[in-house]
Amino acid sequence: MTSQHANNKVVFPTAYTRTLAREQGLDHKGQLLLLKGTRLAPADLFELNRYIDSETQAVIVRNALQLSGNPALGLRWGANLHLAAHGPLGTLIASSPTLGHAWKATEKFHDIRGGFARMEGHIASDHFAVIINMGIELDEVGRFFCEAVLATMVNHLGMIIGNSKPALRVELAYSAPPYANQYPEFLHAPCLFGKPKTKIVIPHGLALMSNPMADPETHAMALARCEQLLLEQRRPSNWAARVTELLRSNPGQIWTCEQVASHFHLSSRTLMRYLRDEQTSYQTLRDSELARQAKLSLLVSNNTVESVALSLGYQEVSNFRRAFKRWFGMSPQAFIEQSRVN
């Protein structure tokens, strides 16, 4: 349910906090209380593809628990979390042919939405177990996330096999909390505390059942999107490097900041903030790459100033000349003459 970017920082999509606020029916004032102690504003929760760091998310969870007065909030929220909240991965899971295929999709792609809730499958003679290792301290915040992951998985499992109360068993690697009697209500299964590992035990027969919502075309499209997201996540998280790579791989196109942001499924404001955090700006990166391309192109003997300007995407040669002089302190023609002398 979280994401782990290439800089190894665990982050959470804002979609989860947005649904948490909706689950509690919070108005604008309530959202301000939910975000108290963070640098976020309610409007930030509606910004697509924005992420929240783990420290900030922990503050939000503590605020949510205090506002709700319900220590079992993680169970309730997870049980009501729709597959759509998980983006393309949710679509992939929902359209999978069987529960077994859905698990394989979760195991392969959960990093695009799930960072520290590590999951592994274990096959026994009569059952299949999904082992969940949270990798964090199981204080009130850690337990909230563990409960949310369990409730979400049980809920989605029931949707996939068309049975809201599948025959499962849940084992938990911690002592029973004071509200332990609520676990079976949300997990629809016997819950055994104090076990060596936290896991959901699924009979073999359920894993092989057909998914009534299976859709091959939707599944293929969602699979392609998840593959793309996983590939992008494994690239450098340095946004300056990613923007430069995009500009460099598309010579002859002068991208606007809005176009670049759209390519990365971000708003331009978010992209500018990411680059500002890296002590740079889109204008700086674009100018640097255009200057590099211009310099290399002008060193080719049969290229003219006019042809280079057009190849870089400039409609007016005069605009290119002005930009070149700003970059190098001389005109393109002077640069050509100097390079020939040298």
Helical H segments across the chain, by residue range: 14-23, 28-34, 54-68, 73-80, 87-94, 99-109, 140-161, 183-187, 204-207, 216-234, 239-248, 257-263, 268-277, 282-298, 305-311, 317-328, 332-341
Asked if the model's pLDDT at residue 153 lies above 80, the reply is yes
**How does residue 233 score in pLDDT terms, banded at 50, 70 and 90?**
low
pLDDT of res. 2: 47
In single-letter form, the type of residue at position 2 comes to: T
Task: Say whether pLDDT at 5 is over 50.
Answer: no
The pLDDT-based confidence of 12 (bands split at 50, 70, 90) is confident
Mean pLDDT of 295-322: 86
Question: DSSP secondary-structure letter at 177?
Answer: P
Burial of 153 (0-12, 13-18, 19+ CB in 10 A): buried
pLDDT band at 234 (very low <50, low <70, confident <90, very high): low
Please report the pLDDT score of residue 25 as a whole number: 93
**177 to 6, 79, 170, 269: CA distances (angstroms):** 35, 18, 15, 43
**Contact status, residue 59 vs residue 37, Cβ threshold 8 Å:** yes
For 110, the token pair is 């959960």
CA distance 103 to 110: 10
The domains found in the chain, sorted by start residue, are 3-216 (3.90.1520), 238-341 (1.10.10.60)
| pLDDT bucket at 341, cuts 50 / 70 / 90 | low
Is it the case that residue 23 has pLDDT exceeding 70?
A: yes
Count of Cβ atoms closer than 10 Å to residue 190 Cβ:
13
Instruction: Say what the pTM is.
Output: 0.65
pLDDT digits (tens, 9 = 90+) for 275-300: 998 899 999 999 998 898 888 888 87
Averaged pLDDT, 207-224: 89
More confident residue, 25 or 338: 25
Burial of residue 102 (number of CB atoms within 10 Å: 0-12, 13-18, 19+): buried
Q: What pLDDT, on the 0 to 100 scale, is given for residue 193? A: 96
Residue 6's pLDDT band, with cuts at 50, 70 and 90, is: very low
**Mean pLDDT, rounded, for 99-121:** 77
Q: What is the mean pLDDT of residues 194-217?
A: 87
- Residue 133's pLDDT band (cuts 50, 70, 90): confident
Mean pLDDT score, 178-191: 94
Q: Integer distance in angstroms from the first to the last C-alpha of the chain?
A: 59
**Of 1-5, 19-23, 197-201, which gets the smallest average pLDDT?**
1-5
